[in-house]
Structure 1
Amino acid sequence: METILNYFETIPPLHRGAIIVGGLTFFWLIEGAMPLFNFKYKKWKHAIPNIFFTITTILVNLPMAFLLLMSSDWAIANDFGILNWLPEMSLTLYAILGVFLMDFFGAYLPHLIEHKVPPLWMVHLVHHSDHKVDATTANRHHPIESIIRYTFTLIGVIAIGAPIGIVMLYQSLSIVATQFSHSNIRLPKKIDKLISYVLVSPDMHKVHHHYKMPYTDSNYGNIFSVWDRLFGTYMELDTDKIVYGVDVFPNEEENSNIKDLLKQPFQKYQKPTSFEEIPEN
C-alpha cells in the first residue's frame, strides 16, 4: 500500500490522462460486445459533446490541482481532519477509509445537493439530458458543475485530513468507477446485484438516469453504494423500464448540441413530458 500511495502522491498528469482515456477505451469496447441497450445511434457522433465536456472538466481541474495539495498539506501539518483524529491503524485500512470518506464528500454529498438545490440542479441537468447513456456520459458535466464538484472535494480533503496520495488515488478510482457505472453494458443480473451491495453497479446507476421522478432522485453514489443504502436514497427499477433523459428538456437534438448544452443551465424548464411521449431506447 505504501508503494501505491507514494505513486499517487506524485502521479504525472500524463498518467492521470492515461487512466481517463484507458478506462473510456476499455468500457467503450465492452459496450460493443455486451450492450444493455441496442442504441440506434452513431456512437462517435454521440460521443462528441460528452468528450468535449470531459475535456472542459480536465481543463478546470488541472489548474486548481495545487489547491488540493495545499489543503492536504495544511490538514496534515495541523493534525486536522477525521483521519488524523482516529486511533492509529494499518496503512491499508487508513487508505481504504480515506477513499471511502472522500467518496462521500467528493461525490455523494455534492451529487445529492445538486439535486435538491434548484440552481445547482439546472447546472447538473447537462449530465442528465443525455438520451443514450454510455461510458462517454461519465464526465458529461457543465464547466460550472466541475467547479462545484471541485469545491466539495476541497472541503472533503480538509474535513477528512486526507494526504495527497489518498486524494489522487480516490480521484483515479472515481474516474474508472463512474465510467463503469455509466457504461452501456449488460451484466448477469445476479452479478450486477452482488456488485451493488458494495460498489455502484451499472444497473444501479442506470436507475438514476431514468427520466422521471422519483428515480432521478436516487442512487447518487459514485464508487460505494453504501451511502445510498445508509441514507435511504437507494432505489431499484427494472432496466427494461428505464428511459434516459429528463422530462423538462426532452429535445434530443438540442441535448446533443454543445452550444445548447452550455446554455442549458440558464434556460427555463419546458413542460414535463409524459412517459408515453418519450420513445423507448
Structure 2
Amino acid sequence: MDLSAYLAAKLQAQLLAPGSHFSVYALAAGFLLGFSYLAWSRKRRRGHVGLKPLARAFLSRRLLTHRSTRADILYFFVNVFVTVFLIGWACLTSVEVVDAVQDALTGAFGARTATAAPEWAARGLVTLVVFLAMEFGYWLDHYLKHRIPVLWETHKTHHTAERLTPFTVWRVHPLDSLLFSNIVALSVGLALGATRYALGGTPESFSVAGTNILVAAFFYTFANLQHSEVWLPLRGLPGRLLMSPAHHQLHHSINPAHYNSNLGNCLALFDWLFGTLILPERESPRLTFGVLEKEADPHALTELFLAPFGNVVRALAPARGARQAATPPMNSAAPSSVETSA
C-alpha cells in the first residue's frame, strides 16, 4: 500500500466507519444533542432561544483559534498516523488474552458443553460483560495514572488542554496509550475468556461495525461532548451510573476539589463504587482547565511529546523517589468532597 492509500485508509477508519467514536456521524449526533440541550436550557432559563449564543458554544473564535485547540488537532494526526508504529509491537490484544484464559480453564477443568441458552441471550451476556470489562479497565488505568507519579507523567499531556473540543480526546501521549491498551486488553480478555468458557462456546458481542453496541451508543450521545464546553450534567441515580459531559469536565478542572474524580469513560458506576465520584451541579461552575504544573510551553509538540520521556526517567530515579512521594503531582490529591448530594 502506498503512502497516500495508507493515509486515506486511516482517515476513513476514523471519520467514516460507523463504529468509530470520531466518525462524522457520531460527531454530528453529539453536536445535535448538545445544541438541543443548550437550546432547551436557554429557553427554560430565559424564555427564548438565541442561535448566536448557542453557536458560540461550539464555534467561537476564542475556542477555534486557541493554541490548545491547534495542539489537539496536531495530536489527532500524530495518533492516527504515527502512534501505532511506536507502540503497536508492545500492545497485547484481548484475543490473545481470551485464548490464553480459555486454554488455561480447559486444561484445569476440562472442556464444557455449549450452553442451551438462546443465541441472543448468550450474545447479550457477552455484550454486557465486554462493556463492563472495558469500563473497569478504563477506570483502573485512569486511577493508576492519577495516583502514581511516574504514570501521571505519561498522562499529564492530556490534561494540559486549556480548551476542550472533541479533538482533545486525541491529546494523548504514546506511553499513555501503551499502558491503556494493555490494561484494557487484560481486563476484557480475562472477563471474555472466562465468560466464553462458562458458555461453552465463542459467542460475539452485538456490535456496530466491530464496536460493542453499548460503547457505540455512548459514541453517538455523550462521547464527543465530554471534551467540549457544553455543560450537560446528569444528577441523582443517572449521574451515579452514567458519565455525562459535565462529569468529565469536572475531571479536567484545575480546582483541587475536583482532583482524581470521575475517572470512568461511559459509566460513573465504578467511580461511585470506589469513591471517586463527584456529581456535577445543575449550572456550570465556570471551570478552568489545564494543569497547575506549568510546562515550558504546554502546547508545543516538543513539550507534549518529548518531555514526558524525560519526566518518566526522572520520576523513576531513586534519588527523586522520596521527593516524589512527598510532593505528589497536580492530580494526586484526594478530592475534598468525593460525592456531592443529588
TM-score (norm 2): 0.60
Residue equivalent to 2:164:
133
TM-superposed CA distance for 1:64, in Å, is 6.6
117, 120, 131: which one pairs with 1:99? 131
Within the alignment, does 1:213 sit opposite 2:245 as a pair? no
TM-superposed CA distance for 1:165, in Å, is 4.5
Residue equivalent to 1:108:
139
In 2 relative to 1, CA 171–193 (structure 1 residues): closer, same or farther, beyond 3 Å? same
185, 196, 200: which one pairs with 2:239? 196
Give the AA of the match of 1:70. E
Q: Is the 8 A contact 2:129 2:191 kept in 1?
A: no
Q: Is the 8 A contact 2:262 2:278 kept in 1?
A: yes
Structure 1, 71-80 or 116-125: larger mean CA deviation = 71-80
Q: Is the 8 A contact 1:129 1:245 kept in 2?
A: yes
Q: Is the 8 A contact 1:49 1:257 kept in 2?
A: no
SS in 2 for 1:255: coil
123, 132, 157: which one pairs with 2:154? 123
TM-superposed CA distance for 1:156, in Å, is 1.1
255, 260, 264: which one pairs with 2:303? 260
SS in 2 for 1:240: coil
User: Using the alignment, how far apart are the partners of 2:92 and 2:267 within structure 1?
Assistant: 27
Residue equivalent to 2:23:
21
Q: Is the 8 A contact 2:250 2:287 kept in 1?
A: yes
Within the alignment, does 1:153 sit opposite 2:163 as a pair? no
TM-superposed CA distance for 1:213, in Å, is 2.4
Q: Is the 8 A contact 1:124 1:141 kept in 2?
A: yes
User: Using the alignment, how far apart are the partners of 1:202 and 1:67 within structure 2?
Assistant: 29
User: Using the alignment, how far apart are the partners of 1:216 and 1:171 within structure 2?
Assistant: 31
Residue equivalent to 1:226:
269
Give the AA of the match of 1:173. V
41, 62, 83: which one pairs with 1:40? 62
Instruction: Give the aligned length.
Output: 251
Q: Is the 8 A contact 1:16 1:172 kept in 2?
A: no
Residue equivalent to 2:95:
69
User: Using the alignment, how far apart are the partners of 1:28 and 1:245 within structure 2?
Assistant: 24
Work out which structure has the larger RCO, using CA pairs closer than 8 Å and 6 or more positions apart in sequence: 1
Structure 1, unmatched stretches of 5+, are: 1-11, 274-281
Q: Is the 8 A contact 1:200 1:224 kept in 2?
A: yes
Identity of aligned residues (%): 20
TM-score (norm 1): 0.71
Q: Is the 8 A contact 2:158 2:171 kept in 1?
A: yes
Deviations 1:132-189 (A, max 9, x none): 01211113110111111111022213321356954953499278264342233243x5
SS in 2 for 1:73: helix
In 2 relative to 1, CA 261–228 (structure 1 residues): closer, same or farther, beyond 3 Å? same
TM-superposed CA distance for 1:240, in Å, is 2.1
Larger of the two Rg values belongs to structure: 2
